[in-house]
Structure formats: structure tokens, C-alpha cells
């Protein structure tokens, strides 16, 4: 056997180090490429927006420049709009959305489990879910107001009805995704139906439930604006609608951006929870 010389070994080590360095650089680039692309798109939109609003292409009444939106946000934080500050509007909207989410999860997860595990549950609940799922919230909002009045109950109920189908369907799909081998093994070890649900079916459904919550939050924010049209004194949807009536476009756009930022933050939080606590879902 001919052993490599020292210079050959040094050359091989330098080559391997260079290859490893390039591989790490490519991996880093792939990791940050979505962020770079997203930032570039946002910057491009802001530039076009600024040019269009300041050069006379679009009237500032209909499209204020980005600087005016930042000024409006500062004014909303310090002074407020329609007798409430931005923080108060955000608090009212968050209270409605997350109250609705709580009741949707509280009822939707058991309903999804029943649909997935019981023929009777599926026969009773599935038609109700399929009836609600395609209906826009504005279609049944007047009926909810007639039945429950114009207070907070009707607003939370409308948002809950918009959220529930996504959670129910996702839960049912997640429970059905449980491996038959796991179910059979649990039964072979003498697991009761409650233990089977607790240790096999629900853990298998957690990734789908989180996905359903993400979809439901999107539907909830969409419905919030419609729900706050009815006798609301605070809320982001109420603020946007009040500003739109008087063509205060900078407040309208600022409110839209605030809703988008809050929704994005909670979407990022749910993704972090999914990566942190249900890492196996990324391999499904």
C-alpha cells in the first residue's frame, strides 16, 4: 500500500474543508432564502406604493403614502380614533376572537372525535358541519342577532360558527390518521376506549388540530370585521368601518395592517408550538 505524502494529505484536508464550508454556505442560504425573498417583495411593494401615491398616479385620498400610514399608527396609539386608542381596539377584538376560539376548540375537538370514531356521531354531526362550512357568516348574522341580540354574545357566536367547521374537520381527519398498528397494539395491551383516545388517537390528531386552529383563526379574523359592524363600540373592525365612512383612508389601511400583523404573529406562534411540541408532524 502506498501512503499519501504529507502535502497530499494537506491538500486533501484543504479540499474537504472547502467543500464543507461551501455546503454550510448553501445550507445557510437555503435557510434564509424565504426571508430574503419575502423582504424583497415587501420592499418592492412599498417602493411602488410610495411612487404611486406621491407622483399623482393615485389620489392620496384613496392611497395615502406609507409615511402617512406610519403617522396614522402613531396617532392611533397616542390619541386614538372613535373614542378609543389602538390598544383598546386591539384588546376588544382579541377578546372576541379568542373567546370564540376557546368555545370552538371546546366543542369542535369532541365533535371531530365523535365524527371519526362513532357512526352515530358522524350521522348526527356531519350534516351540521357540512351545512355550516360553506355558509358565509354574513348569511346567518341577522338570524343570530334576532335570537341573541346585539351584544357580545352574538358577535362571539358568529365568529365561533365560522371557526368551528375547520377545527371539527381537522380533528376528525387527525383521529383517522392514527396508525392501525398503534391502535391494535393499544387494544392488545388492554387499553380502555378512554385510554385509547388519550394515548393514541388524540396525540395522532394534535398536528391536524393545530392546522385546524390556524385555518380557524383566519376565518375568525375575517368574520370579526362583519361581526363588529353590529352595535360595537370598540374593535379593529369597528374602527376600520367607521374610518371608511368618512374616507379616512390612512386609518383604514393602518387597521388592516394591524390585523395582518396580529394574525401573522399568532400564525408564527402556532408554527413554533408545532415545531417545539409535535416535531413528528413534520415527517408525516
Say yes or no: 32 and 164 in one domain: no
Indicate whether 152 and 91 sit together in one domain: yes
Asked whether residue 73 falls in the same domain as residue 36, the answer is no
Containing domain of residue 79, as a range? 66-283
pLDDT tens-place string over residues 77-102: 988 888 888 999 999 999 999 999 99
pTM summary value: 0.78
Shared-domain flag, residues 92 and 39? no
Residues 72, 171, single domain; the answer is: yes
**Same structural domain for residues 156 and 272?**
yes
Domain's final residue, options 58, 81, 98: 58
Each residue's pLDDT, cut to its tens digit, for the chain (284 residues) gives 455 565 655 555 565 555 556 666 667 667 767 777 778 888 888 888 888 888 878 787 888 888 888 999 999 998 888 888 899 999 999 999 999 999 999 999 999 999 988 889 888 898 989 888 888 888 888 888 888 888 888 889 999 999 999 999 999 998 888 777 777 777 777 777 777 877 788 888 888 898 899 899 888 888 888 888 776 778 888 898 888 888 889 899 999 999 989 988 988 888 888 888 777 665 54
CATH of the domain at 104: 1.10.3720.10
**pLDDT at position 271:** 85
Query: How many independent structural domains does the chain possess?
Result: 2
- Residue 117 shares a structural domain with residue 91: yes
- With pLDDT > 70 as the criterion, what percentage of the chain qualifies? 88
Q: Are residues 161 and 45 in the same domain?
A: no
Whether residues 166 and 143 share a domain: the answer is: yes
The reply to whether 73 and 213 lie within a common domain is yes
Which of 58, 77, 107 is where one domain is finished?
Answer: 58
Residue 160: per-residue pLDDT: 93
Same domain, yes or no: 24 and 74: no
- Which of 17, 35, 58 terminates a domain? The answer is 58
Same structural domain, 84 and 35: no
82 phi, psi to nearest 5 deg: 45, 55
Q: What is the pLDDT of residue 15?
A: 54
pLDDT digits (tens, 9 = 90+) for 230-261: 767 788 888 988 888 888 898 999 999 999 89
Amino acid at each position: 500500500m502506498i501512503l499519501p505524502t504529507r502535502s497530499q494529505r494537506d491538500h486533501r484536508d484543504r479540499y474537504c474543508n472547502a467543500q464543507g464550508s461551501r455546503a454550510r454556505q448553501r445550507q445557510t442560504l437555503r435557510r434564509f432564502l424565504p426571508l430574503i425573498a419575502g423582504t424583497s417583495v415587501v420592499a418592492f411593494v412599498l417602493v411602488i406604493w410610495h411612487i404611486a401615491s406621491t407622483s399623482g398616479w393615485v389620489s392620496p385620498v384613496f392611497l395615502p403614502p406609507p409615511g402617512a400610514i406610519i403617522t396614522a399608527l402613531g396617532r392611533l396609539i397616542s390619541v386614538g380614533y372613535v373614542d378609543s386608542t389602538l390598544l383598546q381596539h386591539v384588546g376588544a377584538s382579541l377578546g372576541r376572537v379568542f373567546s370564540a376560539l376557546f368555545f370552538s376548540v371546546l366543542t369542535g375537538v369532541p365533535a371531530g372525535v365523535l365524527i371519526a370514531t362513532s357512526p352515530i356521531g358522524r350521522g348526527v354531526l356531519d350534516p351540521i358541519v357540512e351545512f355550516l362550512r360553506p355558509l358565509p357568516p354574513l348569511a346567518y348574522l341577522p338570524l343570530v342577532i334576532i335570537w341573541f341580540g346585539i351584544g357580545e354574545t352574538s358577535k362571539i357566536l358568529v365568529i365561533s360558527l365560522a371557526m368551528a367547521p375547520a377545527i371539527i374537520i381537522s380533528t376528525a381527519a387527525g383521529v383517522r390518521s392514527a396508525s392501525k398498528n398503534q391502535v391494535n397494539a393499544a387494544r392488545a395491551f388492554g387499553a380502555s376506549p378512554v385510554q385509547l383516545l388519550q394515548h393514541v388517537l388524540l396525540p395522532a390528531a394534535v398536528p391536524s388540530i393545530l392546522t385546524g386552529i390556524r385555518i380557524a383563526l383566519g376565518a375568525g379574523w375575517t368574520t370579526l370585521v362583519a361581526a363588529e359592524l353590529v352595535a360595537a363600540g370598540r374593535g379593529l373592525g369597528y374602527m376600520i368601518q367607521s374610518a371608511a365612512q368618512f374616507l379616512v383612508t390612512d386609518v383604514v389601511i393602518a387597521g388592516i395592517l394591524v390585523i395582518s400583523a396580529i394574525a401573522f404573529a399568532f400564525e408564527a406562534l402556532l408554527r413554533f408550538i408545532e415545531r417545539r411540541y409535535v416535531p413528528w408532524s413534520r415527517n408525516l
